[in-house]
Amino acid sequence: MMDIREFMAGDPTPEQINSYLDGVRWGEPLPQEQAPPVPADDEVMVVRSMRMSMAMDKRLKHEAQRQGLDKSELMRRLLLAGLGELEADQQTFTIAQLRLLLSTQPPAA
């Protein structure tokens, strides 16, 4: 039987999938050596959606491109910076930073 790590690591063919599933014993605990590793909380990405104006979205896109990041990475960094400032009880500085960032106009298309 194919090891779960081998199965998950590649792009298995239908035959490999069937072969793997034939060896699975449903309802029985998986031996620890075959169990996939459990990711740490900071490795698991959770999808969150939020609403924002088109203008803000364009500004975020522009800033992300300027920094060579995708928008998701820029948002993560902004949120982490904001949370750090909240923990330091410096909310005003974070709001000022975000206002400065979002006041930057994207280049004309």
The pLDDT profile of the chain, 109 residues, written as one tens digit per residue, is 556 677 667 777 888 788 878 877 777 777 777 777 777 777 778 888 888 889 999 999 999 999 999 999 899 888 888 777 666 665 555 677 777 767 766 656 5
Return the pLDDT at 105: 65
Return the pLDDT at 41: 73
pTM of the model: 0.46
Return the pLDDT at 50: 86
Which phi and psi angles does 106 have, rounded to 5°?
A: -70, 155
**Domain residues of the chain, as ranges?**
4-37, 54-103
CA 17 to chain centre: 28
DSSP result, 21-32? HHT--TTSPPPG
Q: What angle do CA 10, 1, 12 make, to 5 degrees?
A: 20
Return the pLDDT at 58: 92
